[in-house]
Amino acid sequence: MTIQTLGITEPSFRDSVDIMFRRAVQRMAISRGLAEKIRICNSTYVVRFGVRLRGDIVTFTGYRSVHSEHAEPVKGGIRYAMNVDQDEVEALAALMTYKCALVEVPFGGSKGGLKINPREWNAEEMERITRRFAYELIKRDLINPSQNVPAPDMGTGEREMAWIADQYHRMATTDINARACVTGKPLNAGGIRGRVEATGRGIQYVAREFFRHEEDVALAGLSGSLAGKSVVVQGLGNVGYHAAKFLSEEDHCRVTAIAEYNGGIVNDDGIDVQAAKDWMGAHGTLEGFAGAAFVKEAASLLEKPCDILIPAALEGVVNAGNAERVSCKLLIEAANGPVTASADDVLRKRGIIVIPDLFANAGGVTVSYFEWVKNLSHIRFGRMQRREEEARGRMLIDELERTIGKPLGAEFKARFINGSDELALVRSGLDDTMRGAYGQMRKVWHERRTSDPEVDLRMAGYIIAIQRVADSYSALGL
């Protein structure tokens, strides 16, 4: 299947993922048969169901694809959007397989989607539609704590996850692990602290880790630290907003442009991300926001010169039509599939470093894994250790102060004594995961790139992920 971008033919999203997969597999010692088994999507369930709404029956089409069951449960979000189709859901499910394998989250890959414009329906209607969709998936074990665990994606959030969890509970009243049937739930419905911010937080940790490696920073044509770097963000949804907010407020980056579907804003001195988000929330557009100049043609902002470009919305936004004009040094794929396979070739030849989706946006599923473990263990992280840690810290400080004969600084003491709560532990686990995976990817990248210049971070990520899936198939005797 192919799609047209400004008259240029290029692969569909699923074909793009396949091309990236094949480029990696060609360089690996695994049989063609096994590679094919890993590449193909195991199954896609398509459901059409009717819901009585506004005095009539409205029919919806939904999907749940299972790409690979080498590890179970399989995992991946449910997307609500009008452009959802089988090709997209299968591409996203494949990415989930590689993503989980790369960051060592013990899940197979899955993804779901419902063809709907969430803006068209009120909360009560959305609840009825979501419960009905969930019912269809639950009765086929396509939502199940030990088999298939959805999560939020574009167009869905905590609210939808709470409805799904409750629907599962109604249908599996004696399942003690019912809450683990879905992640991304609100805290009071079995969620975990730090899940909402997780993907954006992950992007921040990725950027920080990249800048810890001088050699990699130099390859991107950059130097120094994150502080002061100019950042262009596409999409001010959950992922783009958190990434932009953390990078500007905590790492002192300058967010010079934000692009949204209905217009963008530019300010070379840096945009106040929180203020822009508040404006967008109140007005539904960035137009009229006082802290920056409004640009109607937001797509052009992807071409604005900057140090770091973060596409955090749709797939295929960097494509054959604009790849030659994109003028960042480093591109971090916060969205799934924002760069098409043909654009990827162009960016690589132009020396732009791409931190690929299967790694960059894995923060969401990583914290989903922590939530699932929390649900199965029926206790929040840190509950047993926090005060014990605190008591040990206090003991050490007391002894130190006694020995040196003077008190230590109050701020230091407070920070040192403080035992880790759930949020601190989640962030620590996420940071460790992202740093560990980046280290593995850059090792493969640098080992191979001198003799094979086509090897980039994306290919390194695919090589590691595919090898892990292949190893688990071999362990199963396949």
Active site residues: 111
Nearest residue to the partner ligand GLU, using Cβ: 77
Separation between Cα atoms, residue 115 and residue 62, nearest integer Å: 6
Count CA atoms closer than 13 A to 296's CA, side-chain side.
Answer: 0
Separation between Cα atoms, residue 105 and residue 368, nearest integer Å: 9
CA distances for 196 relative to 152, 202, 242, 316, angstroms: 9, 11, 9, 24
Query: Contact region for ligand GLU (CB under 6 A) — 257-265, 273-281, 360-368, 399-407?
Result: 360-368
Residue 197 is a binding residue for ligand GLU (CB under 6 A): no
Separation between Cα atoms, residue 183 and residue 372, nearest integer Å: 7
Least Å distance, CB 151 to ligand GLU, is 3
Task: Kindly state the number of chain residues that form the binding site for ligand GLU, as judged by CB under 6 A.
Answer: 11
Q: Is 85 or 390 the residue whose CB approaches ligand GLU more closely?
A: 85
Q: Phi and psi for 2 in degrees, rounded to 5? A: -130, 160
Least Å distance, CB 360 to ligand GLU, is 10
> Angle, to 10 degrees, between the axis of helix 363-377 and the axis of helix 86-102?
70
CB 467 within 8 A of CB 444: no
Residue 356 is a binding residue for ligand GLU (CB under 6 A): no
Least Å distance, CB 119 to ligand GLU, is 20
Least Å distance, CB 73 to ligand GLU, is 10
Q: Phi and psi for 228 in degrees, rounded to 5? A: 85, -10
Q: Is 75 or 458 the residue whose CB approaches ligand GLU more closely?
A: 75
Q: How long, in residues, is the chain?
A: 478
Least Å distance, CB 164 to ligand GLU, is 12
Q: Which positions from 322 through 341 interact with ligand GLU, judged by CB under 6 A? A: 336
Using the structure block, give the residue that is written with the tokens 């029956």: 57
Query: Contact region for ligand GLU (CB under 6 A) — 212-220, 255-263, 318-326, 363-371?
Result: 363-371
Show the site string, 20-59: x = touches ligand GLU by CB under 6 A, - = not: ----------------------------------------
The correct pick among 368, 375, 433, 440 for binding ligand GLU (CB under 6 A) is: 368
Q: Which two tokens stand for residue 202?
A: 């992950």
Residue 151 is a binding residue for ligand GLU (CB under 6 A): yes
Separation between Cα atoms, residue 49 and residue 284, nearest integer Å: 31
Show the site string, 62-101: x = touches ligand GLU by CB under 6 A, - = not: -------------xxx------------------------
Least Å distance, CB 361 to ligand GLU, is 6
Separation between Cα atoms, residue 396 and residue 401, nearest integer Å: 9
Which uninterrupted H or E stretch holds 241?
A: helix 238-249
Separation between Cα atoms, residue 129 and residue 135, nearest integer Å: 10
Binding footprint of ligand GLU on the chain (CB under 6 A): 75-77, 151, 153, 183, 336, 361, 364-365, 368
